[in-house]
Amino acid sequence: MAFAAPTPIPSRTQYVLEAIKHAILTGQFAPGKALVEAELAAQYGVSKTPVREALKTLAGTGLVVMSQYKGVTVRTVDAAMAREVYDVRLLLEPEALRRTITRRASLEAAGQALIDADSAADQAERSLANREFHRALYLPCGNPLLARMLDEVREQAALVSTVAWSTDPSWQREADEHRQILGLALAGDAEGAASALHDHIASFVQRAFPDGEDHS
């Protein structure tokens, strides 16, 4: 079955999209914050049309929520939401990495992502680099559908990290775990790398939301 190529996003919409995403991932726009089209248009010096389109795209990724009564708000993160997102990752990511290693696919992008995370200027850049690290592990798995399914939860996982880091900035620990995972992967240890990745994902959500604790 052939899939149509995605429609390119106009430059002004892309600019607003990245600006709002950066504000969300640095905590400038906190979970639950109302995102008003007119205010955002004035803030970014554009008309309301690119703002509206950007918000629709962000709603599709799960970073914002559109409601007929409340308008558009940054998605609220609670234990249930975090565990839902991370449950999907636990089910799929270790298997994807196992397949990537078995196929002897290149992991150069994962190494570069670690460098980018170490040199990140702020929390948003670090979050983006962390996402790229994980994506570099699963993208070459050989199953495009599996990779797309994991892509669908990337933004929501980043939002969970942003909220968790606001109370427990544990990125150094996670960076060390990333190096361990990549080391095992580069050594060709598919089972060891997959197990380390599973533990990495599971321990993060348990630390961030112990006993179902909410951060919203």
Domain match, 100 and 192 both = yes
Domain that holds residue 68: 11-74
Q: Quick one: pLDDT at residue 211?
A: 64
Domain match, 90 and 60 both = no
Q: How far apart are CA 105 and CA 114, in angstroms?
A: 18
CATH number at residue 47: 1.10.10.10
Residue 197 belongs to a domain = yes
Instruction: Tell me what the mean pLDDT of segment 182-202 comes to.
Output: 97
pLDDT tens profile 124-139: 788 888 989 999 999 9
pLDDT tens profile 79-129: 899 999 999 999 999 999 999 999 999 999 999 999 999 988 887 788 888
Domain match, 99 and 47 both = no
Confidence class of residue 33 from pLDDT cuts 50, 70 and 90? very high
Burial label, 156 (beta-carbon count in 10 A; 0-12, 13-18, 19+): buried
Domain match, 93 and 191 both = yes
What type of residue sits at position 139? L
Domain match, 49 and 105 both = no
Report the range of poorest mean pLDDT among 22-36, 49-63, 117-131.
117-131
Number of other residues whose CB lies within 10 A of the CB of residue 103: 12
Residue 5 belongs to a domain = no
Q: Quick one: pLDDT at residue 26?
A: 80
Among candidate residues 180, 182, 183, 177, the one with its CA nearest the CA of residue 200: 177
